[in-house]
Amino acid sequence: MNRTATDTPAKKLLLPLLTVLLLLVGFQSDVQAFKWETAKYKGQDHVTLRSLKTFYYFDKITEGTYIVLYRAARIQQGKKTPEIEMKFRSGSHSLVMNGVLFKLSHPIIKSNGRYLLSRTDLVKLVDPVLRPSHIKSAKSFKTVVIDAGHGGSDSGAVGFYKVHEKYYALKVARMVRDQLQKQGYQVVMTRDSDVFVSLANRVRIANKYPNAVFISIHFNSGGNGRANGIETFTISPVGVPHMGRGVRQGDFRMVPGNITDSASIALATAAHSRMLLYLNDSKYGNDFKIEDRGIKRARFNVLTGIRIPAVLVEGGFISNRTEARKVHSTAYQQTLAAAIVRAVNVYRKSITR
Q: What is the dihedral of CA 321, 322, 325, 327, to 10 degrees?
A: -100
In 3D, which of 71, 28, 18 has the Cα closest to residue 353? Answer: 28
Rounded distance, CA 124 to CA 120, Å? 6
DSSP per-residue codes, 57-110: T-SEEEESSSEEEEE--EEETTEEE--EEEEE-TT-SEEEETTEEEE-SS--EE
Residues that bind Zn ion (CB under 5 A): 149, 156, 218
Question: What are the φ/ψ torsions at residue 252 (nearest 5 degrees)?
Answer: -90, -5
Question: What is the rounded distance in angstroms from the CA atom of residue 188 to the CA atom of residue 97?
Answer: 32
Query: Which residues does 267 contact at the CB level (< 8 Å), separation at least 6?
Result: 213, 215, 234, 309, 310, 311, 343, 347
**Separation between Cα atoms, residue 244 and residue 215, nearest integer Å:** 22
Shortest gap between Cβ of 316 and Zn ion (angstroms)? Answer: 12
Backbone angles phi, psi at 140, to 5 degrees: -65, 155
Closest-CB residue for Zn ion? 218
CB of 160 vs Zn ion, minimal distance in Å: 16
Q: Which CB atom, from 231 or from 291, has the smaller least distance to Zn ion?
A: 231
Cβ 150 to Zn ion shortest distance, Å: 6
> Minimum distance from CB of 63 to Zn ion (Å)?
40
CB of 165 to Zn ion, least distance (A): 5
If the CB atoms of residues 120 and 319 are measured against Zn ion, the closer one turns out to be 319
Residue 221 CB, nearest approach to Zn ion (Å)? 8
Question: Based on CB atoms, which residue is closest to Zn ion, 218 or 293?
Answer: 218
Sign of the C-alpha dihedral computed for residues 174, 175, 176 and 177 taken in this order: positive
The nearer residue to Zn ion, 121 or 231, going by C-beta atoms, is 231
- 82/294 with CB nearer Zn ion: 294
Inter-residue contact 271 to 232 (CB < 8 Å): yes
Provide the minimum distance between the beta carbon of 218 and Zn ion in the complex, in angstroms, as a whole number.
Answer: 3
Give the residue with the Cβ less far from Zn ion, 166 or 342: 166
Q: Quote the least distance from Cβ 139 to Zn ion, whole Å.
A: 28
Task: Fill in the DSSP letter of residue 164.
Answer: B
Kindly provide the b/e burial profile for residues 148-163, where b requires at least 16 CB atoms within 10 angstroms of the residue's own CB: bbbbeeeebbebbeeb
Nearer to Zn ion, 55 or 160 (CB): 160
Cβ proximity to Zn ion: between 156 and 237 the closer is 156
Nearer to Zn ion, 144 or 312 (CB): 312
Least separation, in Å, of the C-beta of 149 and Zn ion?
4
Beta strands in the chain (DSSP E): 38-41, 44-48, 60-63, 67-71, 74-76, 79-81, 84-88, 94-97, 100-103, 109-111, 114-118, 143-148, 186-189, 212-220, 230-235, 292-298, 310-317
